[in-house]
Copies of this chain bind each other. A is one copy, B any other.
Amino acid sequence: MKLTSKGRYAVMALVDLARFNNLNPVSLRDISLRQGISLDYLEQIFSKLRKKEIVQSVRGTQGGYVLSKKAKEIKLTNILDAVDEKVKTLQCKKESKKGCNGRSTKCLTHNLWDELENHINNFFEKKSLDDLVKDNTEKRV
Contact = CB atoms under 8 A, between A and B. Distances in A.
Interface of A: 1-5, 7-8, 11-12, 15-16, 35-36, 85-89, 91, 100-101, 103, 107-109, 111-113, 115-116, 119-120, 123, 127, 132, 135-136
Nearest to A108: B15
Give this chain's copy count: 2
Contacts of A111: 135
Contacts of A136: 108
A135 B3 CA distance: 29
A88 B119 contact: no
Given A119-B120, A119-B123, 14 more contacts: A1-B1, A1-B86, A1-B87, A2-B88, A3-B88, A11-B109, A12-B107, A12-B109, A15-B108, A16-B108, A36-B100, A112-B127, A112-B135, A120-B120
B11 A112 contact: yes
Nearest to A119: B123
Given A12-B108, A112-B132, A89 B35 contact: no
Nearest to A1: B87
A86 to B, nearest CB: 7
Contacts of A119: 119-120, 123
B1 A109 contact: no
A130 B107 CA distance: 16
